[in-house]
A = this chain, B = another copy of it.
Amino acid sequence: MADKSEIEEGLAFAPKFGADGLITAVVTDVKSGELLMVAHMNAEALRKTIESGEAWYYSRSRKKLWKKGESSGHVQRVIELRVDCDQDALWLKVEQEGPGACHTGRRSCFYRSVPLGNAPDAALVLEFRDAGKAFDPAKVYGGKGD
């Protein structure tokens, strides 16, 4: 295994997958900078993403490899891929095809805000933010999601 300084300051790509075989992928819109989604990749999803320039992920709930947009057409073209200091997280700057990235029909998966400053045991009530539907997920996914 490479040492810490090589991982952090070196030029060898050595992605560190977790015990579950996955690495976290943060996905932003290359033009607006907006955070679209957080997903996970296994080694095969990462290989396919690098080779094709389109985003592939591993679904933890469906336990399978998936290409973003495979059923919706909402493909993500990867303009730049970055890795973080300890090489256990990836950042994809993408061009998002179609109106949105989220399977709920929103542009971004992060459409609810958590109130800050609450007493520790208070039940936290979320607030919608930028939560308008950009598309109808039932029509786009036909119940399959992607």
Question: Which A residues contact B (CB, under 8 angstroms)?
Answer: 8-13, 24, 26, 28, 32-35, 37-38, 47, 50-51, 53, 61, 78, 80-86, 89-91, 102-104, 106, 109-120, 123-129
Contacts and interface: CB of A to CB of B under 8 A. Distances in A.
Which residue among A28, A84, A115, A119 has the maximum number of chain B CB atoms within 10 Å of its CB? A84
Contacts of A10: 126
Q: How many copies does the complex hold?
A: 2
Contacts of A104: 8-9, 85
Contacts of A26: 26, 35, 38
Contacts of A8: 104
A126 to B, nearest CB: 5
A124 B10 CA distance: 12
A13 B11 CA distance: 41
A42 B112 CA distance: 20
Nearest to A130: B82
A110 B26 CA distance: 11
